[in-house]
Amino acid sequence: MILDIAKKTIDEEINALNRLKDSLDENFEKAVNLILNCKGKVVITGIGKSGIVGKKISSTFSSTGTPSFFLHPAEAIHGDLGMVEKEDLILAISNSGETPELIAIIPILKRWGNKIISITNKKDSTLAKYSDVVLYLNVDKEACPLNLAPTSTSTATLVLGDALAVALLTLRGFKEEDFAKFHPGGSLGKKLMKVEHIMRKDLPLSYTDTPLKEAIIEMSEKGLGAVLIVDKNDNLVGIITDGDLRRFINKGGSIDNSFAKDAMTKNPKVAEKHWYVLQALELMERYNITVLPVVENSKPIGIVHIHDILKSGVI
C-alpha cells in the first residue's frame, strides 16, 4: 500500500516532466538567449513553493556562471525593489500566474524596462501577459491526490530551471575549473583543485655536479625530505629523497666523496601544474612516493608533498 502510493506519486511526476518536455518550444531558446545577453544579474522571484524552488534555481545559476540572486516579492514591495538594476533580467515563477505579490511588482519592473521571463502553468495569466517570454509548465494535475499541494508543478519548475542552467553553462563553455572557482569551500570544488594551487615554489634544488653533502644540506633546509636535481640547462633530471640516501649508503656510497648525480633517482615521476590534485595523489600512491616534482617544459616549477595534499582537504 505505502510503496504503491510512492510509486504512483513518482509516476505522476514523471508524466508531468514528459508533458513539460513535449511543450518546450522556441520560447525556451528565447529565454536562454535573453539570459546570455543579460548585462546584469538574473533576479529570480516567487513566493511559497515557487519561491523555494526559485532560490534553488538562483543558486544553481550563480554556481554555474550566471550571476543571480533571489528577490522575495513581499519584501520587494516594501523596499527591496531597490536591489534591482536596469540591466537585470527578471525570472518570475508562479503556477497560477496570478500571485498577488508578484503582480504588484511585475508592472513596475516592466515600466523600468527590465526584461521578464515567466515560468507558469497558465498561458493567459496576468504574469504571462506582462512577460517578454513565457515558459509554460504544461502540468495537467498535481501528484497530490487532492490535486492541491504543489508537487508535479514544483518538480517541473525545478527541472525547467536545471534545463536553463545546463543550457547556459554549455553555451558559455563553463569548465570544471570554473566550477571549482565558485566552490572553493565545498567538497566538489576541492576535488577539482589543481596542483598549482597547493604546490610549493620555494624549491630544494641542486645541480648534478653539486657535492652530495651540499645537496643534503639543501634538502634539510627546505624540509621536504627531497632535493630536485637539475642539469646545466635547469632541466629536471633526478631527485634525491631520504630513501635514496639510505639506499645509496647501504650500497657503500660515500657522502663525503660523491656528487648529487651519484645518489639521485633518474627521471623521477612528475606532475604538471594543470593536473588535478587527485591525479597527483593517485600517481604518488601508485609508486609509493611522498614528494612529486611539478614541471613545465622539463623545468621544475614546484613540488608537492603528501602533507600538502592532506592539508588541502581533497581527501
**63 or 236: which carries more pLDDT confidence?**
236
pLDDT at 183: 60
Residue 213 lies in a domain: yes
Average pLDDT on 125-135 reads: 97
pLDDT(281) > 70: yes
Note the pLDDT tens digit of each residue in 82-113.
999 999 999 999 999 999 999 999 999 999 99
| 168 shares its domain with 215 | no
Please state the domain count of the chain.
2
Given this model, what pLDDT does residue 30 score? 98
For residues 113 and 52, membership in a common domain is answered with yes
pLDDT at 111: 94
Q: 180 in a domain, yes or no?
A: no
Q: Is 305 annotated as a binding residue?
A: no
3-class SS string, the chain: CHHHHHHHHHHHHHHHHHHHHHHCCHHHHHHHHHHHCCCCCEEEECCCHHHHHHHHHHHHHHHCCCCEEEECHHHHCCCHHHHCCCCCEEEEECCCCCCHHHHHHHHHHHHHCCCEEEEECCCCCHHHHHCCEEEECCCCCCCCCCCCCCCHHHHHHHHHHHHHHHHHHHHHCCCHHHHHHHCCCCHHHHHCCEHHHCCECCCCEEECCCEHHHHHHHHHHHCCCEEEEECCCCCEEEEEEHHHHHHHHHCCCCCCCCEHHHHCEECCCCECCCCEHHHHHHHHHHCCCCEEEEEECCEEEEEEEHHHHHHHCCC
Residues 117 and 199 in one domain: no
199 and 170 fall within a common domain: no
185 occurs within a structural domain: no
Could you read off the pLDDT of 235-246 as tens digits, one per residue? 999 999 999 999
- Mean pLDDT across 110-134: 96
Residue 181's pLDDT is what? Answer: 64
Query: Is position 182 within any domain?
Result: no
| Position 181 in a domain | no
Instruction: Give pTM, 2 decimals.
Output: 0.69
Residues 58, 8 share a domain:
yes
**Average pLDDT over the chain, rounded to whole?**
92
Q: Write the pLDDT tens digit of every residue in 142-200.
A: 999 999 899 999 999 999 999 999 999 999 988 776 666 666 555 566 677 889 989 99
The reply to whether 90 and 231 lie within a common domain is: no
Domain span including residue 67: 2-174
* 305, part of any domain: yes
Residues 169 and 202 in one domain: no
Domain boundary residue, one of 174, 207, 225: 174
Let me know whether 144 and 16 are in one domain. Answer: yes
Confidence of residue 314 (pLDDT cuts 50, 70, 90): confident
Q: Which one of 174, 206, 222 terminates a domain? A: 174
Q: Are residues 155 and 221 in the same domain?
A: no
Domain identity same for 153 and 301: no
Q: Is the pLDDT of residue 208 over 90?
A: yes
Q: Using 50, 70 and 90 to split pLDDT, how confident is the model at 313?
A: confident
Are 136 and 218 part of one and the same domain?
no
* Same domain assignment for residues 290 and 145: no
In-domain check, residue 129: yes
- pLDDT at position 180, please? 64
Which CATH number belongs to the domain containing residue 277 in this structure? Answer: 3.10.580.10
